DNA sequence: GATGAATGAGTCTTCATTCAT
DNA sequence: CATGAATGAAGACTCATTCAT
């Protein structure tokens, strides 16, 4: 009998429950990144996790739910990592550079996760909607940051949303480049990218 | 029976044959853009084209062949359109601006096609390989353009490949934005994007 | 509009009609022998005949009808050939030898036709029924021949039907052997086979 | 999901797994014998087995695998049965008679199985290859037996291969005759057939 | 908690057959 | 007479999902 997908009466999940879910989510990431969303079947994922396919359905209501959880997990662990690195920058220009370099380095360390979520975003309807909301939020945050930078006089006048979109796009293209060209000098890549946007936003 | 996938002895296709192929390719574009590559089944495409699923197989050897043709068609009509608009720019900075603005305007006119090929590129093996070669070529061209601009002294010193990747990413994000926010002022979007890269590459 | 499958008001077929049918039947034989009954599609047959698949349906009511005609044609041309060679044997033993040797030589000359009909017999229901009637007739004839030979005192006492079945089987296995082992000495094969049955039927 | 076609880590199959496979193989035999290899679809077989077509794919990698298993199973159970009956014959003539009579009696008991494999052998590529190897081996064995019998002086001089082929053909025609004429006196049939070959091989 | 067995819905594809031209 | 275009029925096969154990 299903545990109403892992929640008991208090809506919480047991420890072991949570551990299994995490294991499955992790096991799902690689096949998606490597053979694509469509071919990453439960059979594939289960084999990699060393469990039976039926167990996936036991822990996740359906495929969409699992896929969405992959997105959520990758996003949240990335957020956790990046929040540590950025926050305490001395100004907006510096914060921008910090953000970009932090993200690029994160990409270099977790290429598969990020490729997986890009694959998911291109396919899974429900997960994409969630991701789009996230993205809307992120873009809004970035745009706000740009706007504030402009108000403080650190940034020139430009359309914050266009800049935010462009930055997002530039960041999201990093994982694949780093994955497909592992010889890339990550620090240089990060620095160049930061410089591009620094010049794009700064006055003069 | 099959017309050996549409080629007669001279390797040509009849007019009606060509028209059907084009119709099917067009009909395939929308579902791919809207519900994703994986769910755009023959049944979906055929329903939208008002034909039977078997007719698709009659005109295309298999799914991959259809999908690839979608890519090729979109690319070639885009190339045709863009080639007209660009070429005769008076310098590298102007060429860059012309390229960006031209592309953005094209996106505004054909958002579904471009979204479709981005979805395909994220999934279809054979079509992706073709698309990746195209992309590699495009990036190389862009990088070459940047390099030449540097040699002519119009551009500052920067890593051409990183700039090319970033530009590609920025361009490829345009269709979705314009599709999802139809109220966007296309001219302004194009101008802002061009300015971003202008500042990113120019000296001073 | 269909010519009621090639028959005009008098139930006859025009010359050209007949020629096409013969051409199609001939063209059908080889693919069946070579790639098997199941894979010998109209497309295959039509390509080999240099006509369109639709024309086959135009001349034959359906697949079964074509297949059956292949059987009928092969049988009748074989009968025509063998009748010439056998009839005037001086006795039953000699007739038996003549029959066997004639058949084996015919196999050596027309292996594909005979392989084709064996393939058909193993599959096509309607054609098989016709072939079985033929076979019943042939076996009856052979059995009658054996019975007469016994009455004339040329043959020993044995069950004519079992002998007839065995002879049929032995004859029908010849085409494949000759086709797969083209180096076989046909005359020797025919002689050995004739001797086997000679010894099986003769007195002492 | 699929049990990697029925094999667990030790390469073994569970009892229930094995039982289902056997059931499916049995269920496949009849349609093949009755309506032919080509028309014995998964749907047919599944209906007769009282299971869903998908379950066949669950237990067998693909159609070829199932078909081959039918061949293998029939052959092995026949071999097991015949080995018991023959072996201890006092001489080559007696062995020959024992073989023929044993086989004919086996045919009388399992006509459908033997008809099925003859149908398969005429069609299925992969299974046919396996069957042809078996047949080649059998013919070689028979030919060797004849050759030895000649060396021992029990048999007259004749071409062993032709005799072996003829015997094979005679044996393989038995199932159909016994199936279509159930009133046949099996013992008489077997005896007559044995006598035919006895006379064909013996000296004098 | 976990799984092996089973299935139904859905995939692409093949093919004989139809029909307007 | 002949065919290119088109289709419906059927094929094997995939896969997320269910359920008894």
Interval B72-97: pLDDT, tens: 999 999 989 888 776 677 899 999 99
Q: Given its phi and psi angles, is residue A69 left (phi above 0), alpha (psi -120 to 50 degrees) or beta? A: alpha
B160 pLDDT above the threshold of 90: yes
Q: What is the CA radius of gyration of chain D?
A: 19
Report whether pLDDT(C9) > 80: no
> Taking CA C42 as the corner, what is the angle to CA C37 and CA C48, rounded to the nearest 5 degrees?
95
How many CB atoms neighbour CB B126 within 10 A? Answer: 14
**Is residue D64 within a helix (H) or strand (E), and if so which, with residue range?**
helix D63-85
| CB within 8 Å of D158: residues ≥ 6 apart | C192, C195, C196, D146, D150, D200, D201
CA distance D113 to D107: 9
CA A92 distance to own-chain centroid: 23
The residue of chain D with its CA nearest to that of A46 is D1
- Please state the rounded mean pLDDT for residues B13-19: 87
Q: Which 55-74 positions of C have CB less than 7 A from strand F?
A: 55, 58
| Token pair of D113 as six digits | 């199985």
Name the average pLDDT for chain A: 90
Lowest mean pLDDT among B42-46, B126-130, C147-151: B126-130
Nearest 5°: the CA angle A195, A198, A200 is 110
Apex C67 CA angle, C65 and C71, nearest 5:
110
The beta-carbon neighbor of C195 closest among D118, D158, D196 is D158
Given this model, what pLDDT does residue C1 score? 44
Those residues of chain A whose CB sits closer than 8 Å to some CB in chain B are 36-38, 118-119, 122-125, 158-159, 162-163, 165-166, 168-170, 172-173, 177, 188-189, 192-193, 195-197, 199-200, 204
How many residues are there in chain B? Answer: 204
Indicate whether C85 pLDDT > 60. Answer: yes
A49 CA to chain B: closest CA distance, Å?
A: 23
Q: How many CB atoms lie within 10 A of CB A134?
A: 17
pLDDT averaged over chain D?
90
- pLDDT at residue A1 in the model: 45
Mean pLDDT, range B32-57, rounded to an integer: 93
Quote the tokens at residue D47: 């209906």
Lowest mean pLDDT among A19-33, B185-199, D71-85, D119-133: D119-133
Q: What is the pLDDT of residues A61-85, one digit of tens each?
A: 999 999 999 999 999 999 998 887 7
Q: Give me D78's structure tokens.
A: 């026949």
How far apart, in whole angstroms, are the C-alpha atoms of residue D184 and residue D188? 8
Helix (H/G/I), strand (E/B), else coil: B93: helix
Rounded-to-integer distance, Cα C21 and Cα C33, Å: 19
Query: Does D180 contact strand F, using a CB cutoff of 7 Å?
Result: no
Q: Which residues of B touch C42 (CB under 8 A)?
A: 1
Predicted pLDDT at D112: 93
Which pLDDT score, from 0 to 100, does residue B10 have?
A: 59
Mean pLDDT of A157-176: 96
Query: Please, are residues A40 and A68 in contact by the beta-carbon 8 Å criterion?
Result: no
Give me the phi and psi of A148, to 5 degrees please: -65, -45
- Among all protein residues, pick the one whose CA is nearest to the C1' atom of E18: C54
What is the per-residue pLDDT across B91-131, written as a single tens digit (0 to 9) for each?
Answer: 999 999 999 999 999 999 999 999 999 988 887 677 778 88
Q: Which residues contact C193 (CB under 8 A, 6 or more apart)?
A: C100, C101, C104, C170, C174, D162, D166
What's the token pair of residue C49? 């005949």
> Is pLDDT larger for residue D88 or for residue C105?
C105
DSSP state, residue D202: B
Contact between D60 and D21 under an 8 Å Cβ cutoff? The reply is yes
Tell me if A38 and B37 make a contact (CB, 8 A cut-off).
yes
Question: Closest residue by Cα to the C1' atom of nucleotide F21?
Answer: A1
Instruction: Write the DSSP assignment of B39-76 as a string of letters.
Output: T--HHHHHHHHTS-HHHHHHHSSSHHHHHHHHHHHHHH
Q: Smallest Cα–Cα separation from B2: which of B19, B23, B17, B22?
A: B17
CA atoms within 13 A on the CB side of B71: 26
**What is the CA A47 to chain-centroid distance, rounded?**
25
D197 C-beta less than 7 Å away from strand F = no
Over range D164-187, report the average pLDDT: 94
Do chains C and D have 3 or more beta-carbon pairs under 8 angstroms? Answer: yes
Which chain B positions have a beta carbon within 8 Å of C46's beta carbon? 1
> Torsion angle of alpha carbons C113, C117, C120, C126, nearest 10°?
130
Q: Are A156 and A201 in contact (CB under 8 A)?
A: yes
**Burial zone of B149 (CB within 10 Å; 0-12 exposed, 13-18 middle, 19+ buried):** buried
Contact assessment for residue D20 and residue D64, using Cβ atoms and an 8 Å cutoff: no
Q: How far apart are the first and last CA of chain B?
A: 66
Chains touching chain C through at least 3 C-beta pairs below 8 angstroms are B, D
Q: Scanning every residue of chain A, which has its alpha carbon at the shortest distance from the alpha carbon of B167?
A: A170
> What is the C-alpha to C-alpha distance for residues C158 and C150, in angstroms, rounded to an integer?
9
| In chain A, residues 59 through 118 whose Cβ sits under 7 angstroms from any atom of nucleic acid strand F | 60, 62-64
Taking the C-alpha atoms of residue A106 and residue A76, their distance in angstroms, rounded to an integer, is: 13
Task: With a cut of 70, say whether residue D62 has pLDDT above it.
Answer: yes
pLDDT higher than 80, residue D103: yes
Burial (CB count within 10 angstroms: exposed 0-12, middle 13-18, buried 19+), residue C94: middle
Nearest CA-CA partner of A197 in A170, A161, A175: A170
CA B79 to each of CA B102, B134, B190, B191, C166: distance values in angstroms, whole numbers, following the listed order: 11, 11, 18, 21, 74
By C-alpha distance, the chain C residue nearest B2 is C43
Tokens describing residue C132: 């079985």
Residues in B touching A165 (Cβ below 8 Å): 170, 173, 177
DSSP B87: S
Q: Which of residues 1-60 of A touch strand F (CB under 7 A)?
A: 39, 41-43, 53-54, 56-58, 60
Q: What are phi and psi of A155, to 5 degrees?
A: -110, 155
Tokens of B119: 């979805």
Composition of chain A by helix, strand, coil, percent to 5: 75, 0, 25
pLDDT at A193: 98
Does strand F come within 7 Å of the CB of A125? no
Judged against a pLDDT cut of 80, whether residue D134 lies above it is answered with yes
Q: Tell me how far apart the alpha carbons of residues A14 and A147 are, in angstroms, rounded to a whole number.
A: 44
Residues D75-101 as b/e (b if ≥16 CB within 10 A, e otherwise) read: beebeeebeeeeeeeeebbebbbbbbb
pLDDT at C87 exceeding the cut of 80: no
Which residues, listed in sequence order, are joined to residue D155 by a DSSP beta bridge? D202
In whole angstroms, E20 C1' to C23 CA is 26
pLDDT at A5: 60
Please choose, from the candidates C137, C31, C123, the residue with its C-alpha nearest in 3D space to the C-alpha of residue C79.
C137
Give the C-alpha separation, B45 to B53, whole Å.
8
Sign of the CA dihedral running B70, B71, B75, B76? negative
pLDDT (mean) for D5-19: 73
Predicted local confidence at residue B131, as pLDDT: 81
HEC secondary structure over chain C: CCCCCCCCCCCCCCHHHHHHHHHHHHHHHHHHHHHCCCCCCHHHHHHHHCCCHHHHHHHCCCHHHHHHHHHHHHHHHHHHHHHHHHCCCCCHHHHHHHHHHHHHHHHHHCHHHHHHHHHHHCCCHHHHHHHHHHHHHHHHHHHHHHHHHHHCCCECCCCHHHHHHHHHHHHHCHHHHHHHCCCCCHHHHHHHHHHHHHHHHECC
pLDDT band with cut points at 50, 70 and 90 for residue A9: low
CA D28, D32, D34, D36 torsion: positive or negative? positive
Distance CA D132, CA C177 (A): 12
Q: Do chains B and C touch (3 or more CB pairs under 8 A)?
A: yes
Place of tokens 């990046």: A82
């Amino acid at each position: 009998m299903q545990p109403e997908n892992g929640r008991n009466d208090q809506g919480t999940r047991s420890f072991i429950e949570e551990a299994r879910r995490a294991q499955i989510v992790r096991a799902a990431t690689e096949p998606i990144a490597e053979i694509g969303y469509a071919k990453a079947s439960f059979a594939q994922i289960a084999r990699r996790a060393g469990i039976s396919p039926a167990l996936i359905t036991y822990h996740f209501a359906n495929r969409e739910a699992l896929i969405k959880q992959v997105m959520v997990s990758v996003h949240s662990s990335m957020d956790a990592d990046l929040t540590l690195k950025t926050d305490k920058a001395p100004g907006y220009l510096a914060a921008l550079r910090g953000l970009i370099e932090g993200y690029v380095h994160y990409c270099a360390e977790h290429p598969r996760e990020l490729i997986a979520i890009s694959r998911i975003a291109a396919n899974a309807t429900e997960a994409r909607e969630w991701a789009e909301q996230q993205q809307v939020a992120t873009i809004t945050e970035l745009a706000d940051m740009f706007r504030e930078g402009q108000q403080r006089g650190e940034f020139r006048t430009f359309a914050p949303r266009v800049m935010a979109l462009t930055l997002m796009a530039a960041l999201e293209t990093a994982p694949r480049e780093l994955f497909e060209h592992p010889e890339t000098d990550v620090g240089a890549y990060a620095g160049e990218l930061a410089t591009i946007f620094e010049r794009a936003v700064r006055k003069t």
